[in-house]
A and B are shown apart, each in its own frame.
Chain A
Amino acid sequence: MRLLCAFLCLLYLPLHAQQPFLRNIWLSENRVPVKVNVLARDQQGYIIAGTDKGLFRYNGSVSKEIAGMVTDEVTALTLNGKQLWVGYKNGRLGRITGDSVKLVSYHNYKGTATVNGIQQANDGTLYCATENGLVVVRNDTATTYTTKDGLSDNFIYNITLLPNGHILAGTDLGINDIRFGNGAPEVSAISMQHGLPDNIVRVIRNNPGSDVYWIGTQQRGWGVVRYESP
């Protein structure tokens, strides 16, 4: 009888092999909950978390806040080569250098609209997806492109650089395919009228090694678009 009871008790023990690996990581030393917006890995392999309380670097054991002049919410992180770019909710831009963040400023850049995404092209041109248009930085000078320049909407969630030099921007009113020729942008947009599941396109990601791009939308799932290289 005792053996039977013991056997029945053992049946209710969790079967560890069937449980997924989960581990909670506290980013702040005093265990204050933070909202993690973006994640990236720096050139040394450390995980960088962009949160509503700033930037944290996690080395697999402990996390440490990355000091900076701005303690605003981090909304964008991009690693380009050895450079890790940071975008903030208040519109500021920065670069992680060592254990600190250095803010950057450019001519004509007001930096008031939330930065949702950053991409850097091979020629060094910086492209920033903001809530008030696409910001392009060349030679330390920023130019902001909005609906006045042909974009379907100013609220840009995400941008992806295509091999042919075009920029795909996910906006509140569809996907904008932007090409810069002779300085002025040429924009072609696709929306729900062209078959998109939702006008609000929050994320665009390339399927590596192909012309296929996965898109994630606000309320109508995801889809696939193909942008062929010339």
Chain B
Amino acid sequence: MQQQHLKYRCLLLLIMLTIGTPVLSFAGIRIYEVRNGEVRFSSEAPKELISASSRKLQGILDAEKMIFVFKVAITSFIGFNSPLQRDHFNENYMESRNFPDAVFKGKIIEALDLGKDGTYFVRAKGKLSVHGIEQERIIKIQMTVKNGRCQVAATFPILLSDHNIKIPRIVDDKLSPEINVSVKATLQPQSRS
């Protein structure tokens, strides 16, 4: 009787593993993560043009719930016009020791099928947190789906005053109050490793 009970349990476990594995695989495909992501920003002021970029963009997208989180470390931005300018960017303006990351989390407004190849123009609505200040933003995004991968591209402005980033009067002709940001990323199904 006990042997039969044990055999029944083993059979049940085998069935669950057989059926469960493809279910788990399907569940894994629903999460996409950033593989190659780049964030660029530029400031166009009368007396100076400043630009920098970061290839340390991280993020995930839940394709079923259409929610996402993207994050980039402020200290990962490189470029600038001099190392000193980069230091000022981190220490004086962004205060990256206190506010190490810029984060955008929210949801996709329009219906989207990432399983179907094509180019989609959607809106991402969420909270953009920069310099410790959160602002609600709606950002237009171009998503190009091909062979299971998704290319994301977006450009949007950020007002420094919206995030309590102050421009000293002495440099107000060298730093624009509005920064142009562009994001490009490739989203791929999350690996289970």
Contacts and interface: CB of A to CB of B under 8 A. Distances in A.
B111 interface: yes
B111 A172 contact: no
Interface string B12-56: 000000000000000000000000000000000000000000000
Interface of A: 153, 172-173, 191-193, 199-200, 218-219
A172 B110 contact: no
Contact of B138 (A153, A191, A192, A218): A218
Contacts of B125: 172, 200
Interface residues of B, number: 7
Contacts of A173: 109
Contacts of B109: 172-173, 199-200
7 contacts: A172-B109, A191-B111, A193-B111, A199-B109, A200-B125, A200-B138, A218-B138
B51 to A, nearest CB: 29
A210 B9 CA distance: 65
Nearest to A147: B65
Contacts, number: 18
A199 B109 CA distance: 7
B174 interface: no
A199 B125 CA distance: 12
Contacts of A199: 109-110
A115 to B, nearest CB: 15
Interface string B127-144: 000000000001000000
B107 interface: yes
Contacts of A191: 111
Given A172-B125, A192-B111, A193-B111, 15 more contacts: A153-B107, A172-B107, A172-B109, A173-B109, A191-B111, A192-B110, A199-B109, A199-B110, A200-B109, A200-B123, A200-B125, A200-B138, A218-B138, A219-B123, A219-B138
Nearest to A200: B109
Nearest to A218: B138
Contacts of A153: 107
A172 B123 CA distance: 11
Interface in B79-112: 107, 109-111
Nearest to B125: A172
